[in-house]
Amino acid sequence: MTDPGTSAGTAPAAAPATAAELRARTRNLLAAHPPAHTARTDFLRARFDAGLAWVHYPEGLGGLGAPRALQAVVDAELEAAGAPDNDPRRIGIGLGMAAPTILAYGTPEQKSRFLRPLWLGEEVWCQLFSEPGAGSDLAALGTRAVRDDQGDWTVTGQKVWTSSAHTARWAILIARTDPDLPKHQGITYFLCDMTEPGVEVRPLRQITGEAEFNEVFLTGVRIPDTHRLGAVGQGWEVARTTLMNERVSIGGMRLPREGGMIGKAAEAWRSRPELRTHDLHQRLLTLWVEAEVARLTGERLRQQLAAGQPGPEGSGLKLTFARLNQQISALEVELLGEDGLLYEDWTMRRPELVDFTGRDAGYRYLRAKGNSIEGGTSEVLLNIVAQRVLGLPAEPRDDKDLPWKDLAR
């Protein structure tokens, strides 16, 4: 696996030696493009071109080849100056999943074409991985990509649970290119244009009343070979890079103390003293401590990321994120009593992003049910932690070496 700081085809620039040098570079950017007098898009473009978008990326791709940990120095200077950000929550799939995968496996042309508009938010990305018949067992996917005489590809199949497909310009896609090989070997990774003929996006209404997710039908969708990421048949290896980054981006979000779901539960406790009981108090304290431990563990994981690609530790953090969100949201509903059942907006909506903390307690309780499915089911992540962190033996599998076409479906 190629380290993002030294991706093939892009030599990293000499990194600024100190945080002081990065701080000075950021102040030069602010002086040349004062945020109060510079259009948001112009400022973000100047920031990217100055190498201050993601400092650990190579020079020319929004970075300086610097240690990842120094990004905090840049961000602190920009925040203090009131500089605009790139709305990272709206483009989280691109930033957290597509970008590190393109950096690790992309050609110089692919990196140059995709990374700048991705970071600027000019092009939104989605992820076409899961399928109706291959959810937890992603490697069993059946979407087919067939190569034509010109070397390009035609893709046909169905994907499901796709966040942001209704707003996305591009998608990361894995498809089966050789059904005669075992399921993990016959997969190839592509960058799919969501505006191509044959791409159909349909909303999936959730228990919250929203349609944040989608199912995507691909019927004879043309993908040029220049939009293949990695070698033919290397798709599973490339996809693992995406999945490891996805779990870190879901479970390892940077939060202040008492941020996120636990903050809303603590707020409910403080605002409704008439609903307090000793049992609820003890449960809140326990969850508060666990949330703080998870937050600090996330900080430590981000420090490890400064040295390279994420490992299986992100799976453990994502497991904890799902469990805590569900337990905390359930406690908040209990704390609020009858008011916890209220949910103001059941209207069918197509949101661009999930808003856990800006909605009702009832919404948080319902939406958190999906946390143990999205980004890898908790059952799959438990197996990953058992095997790759604890060193336990893998579960016996009788289909691992069978050709995909011979698998029972």
Nearest of 135, 206, 137 to residue 374 by alpha carbon: 135
Judged by DSSP in three states, 408 sits in coil
- Alpha carbon separation from 168 to 90, 116, 128, 194, 231 (Å, rounded): 11, 16, 11, 7, 25
Q: Phi, psi (5° rounding) for residue 205?
A: -75, 130
Residue 35: CB atoms within 10 Å: 15
Q: Are 236 and 105 in contact (CB under 8 A)?
A: no
Interstrand relation of 187-193 and 228-229 (parallel, antiparallel or unpaired): antiparallel
Q: Is 246 among the catalytic positions?
A: yes
Beta bridge partners of 131: 134
For the chain, how long is the longest CA-to-CA vector?
73
Three-point CA angle 160, 166, 171, nearest 5°: 65
C-alpha R_g of the chain:
22
Q: In whole angstroms, what is the distance from residue 156 CA to residue 199 CA? A: 9
- The active-site residue out of 246, 313, 332, 334 is 246
| Matching residue, tokens 């019927």 | 219
Q: 236 vs 3, 200, 337, 357, 366, CA distance in Å?
A: 17, 25, 47, 35, 32
Q: Mention every residue, 6+ apart, whose C-beta is less than 8 A from residue 81.
A: 30, 35
Any idea which residues carry the catalytic annotation?
Answer: 246
